[in-house]
């Protein structure tokens, strides 16, 4: 049996595998990093005139696709935040006690301890990268859901005509 990868990245990948298995066990489909297709992009980039020309069926399709996109973005955000939380917890555990050998505020001691520990430094890089990705996704899921609702409402208005 192969020795497990003990690097921060290796450990994070193993945690991701375990959480992917959990999501599958509760009925979610397998996570795909690139789940957006060109059709969804088309609906996101339409101007008002193009949107108003859509048929009832096209509005329904757009609402369904954008709802799926909203779910996917939220799932991506959740994955990144779980990585941030995992790295933060492991970071604190890794340097626990080491920060006491440094001077300054607690934050300064904490940062110095991380700086002088290669493993902790790698963990911090993973945490920061995941946080940047999560920050980019903040509110995008609700924005995609709002677009989905817009198409759904337009569909209903067209049916009522």
In a domain, 9, yes or no: no
In a domain, 95, yes or no: yes
Query: Does residue 142 contact residue 70 with C-beta atoms inside 8 Å?
Result: yes
**pLDDT tens digits, residue range 128-161?**
999 999 999 999 999 999 999 999 999 999 998 7
Q: How far apart are the first and last CA of the chain?
A: 66
Mean pLDDT over the full length of the chain: 92
pLDDT (0 to 100) of residue 50: 95
pLDDT (0 to 100) of residue 99: 86
In a domain, 7, yes or no: no
Query: Average pLDDT, stretch 85-112?
Result: 92
**Global model pTM greater than 0.85:** no
Domain that holds residue 92: 40-160
In a domain, 60, yes or no: yes
The answer on pLDDT for 2 being more than 90 is no
In a domain, 104, yes or no: yes
In a domain, 22, yes or no: no
Query: Average pLDDT, stretch 44-57?
Result: 94
Total domains, the chain: 1
In a domain, 154, yes or no: yes
Instruction: Name the pLDDT band for 1 (thresholds 50, 70, 90).
Output: low
């Amino acid at each position: 049996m192969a020795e497990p990868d003990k690097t921060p990245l290796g450990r994070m990948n193993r945690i991701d595998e375990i959480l992917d298995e959990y999501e599958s066990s509760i009925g979610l489909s397998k996570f795909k990093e690139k789940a957006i297709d060109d059709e969804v992009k088309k609906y996101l980039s339409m101007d008002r005139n193009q949107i108003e020309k859509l048929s009832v069926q096209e509005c329904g399709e757009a609402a369904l696709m954008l709802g799926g996109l909203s779910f996917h973005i939220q799932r991506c955000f959740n994955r990144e935040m779980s990585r941030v939380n995992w790295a933060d917890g492991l970071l604190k555990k890794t340097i626990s006690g080491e920060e006491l050998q440094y001077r300054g505020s607690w934050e300064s001691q904490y940062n110095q301890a991380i700086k002088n520990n290669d493993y902790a430094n790698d963990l911090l890089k993973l945490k920061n990268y995941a946080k940047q990705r999560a920050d980019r996704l903040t509110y995008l899921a609700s924005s995609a859901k709002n677009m989905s609702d817009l198409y759904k409402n337009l569909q209903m208005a067209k049916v009522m005509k």
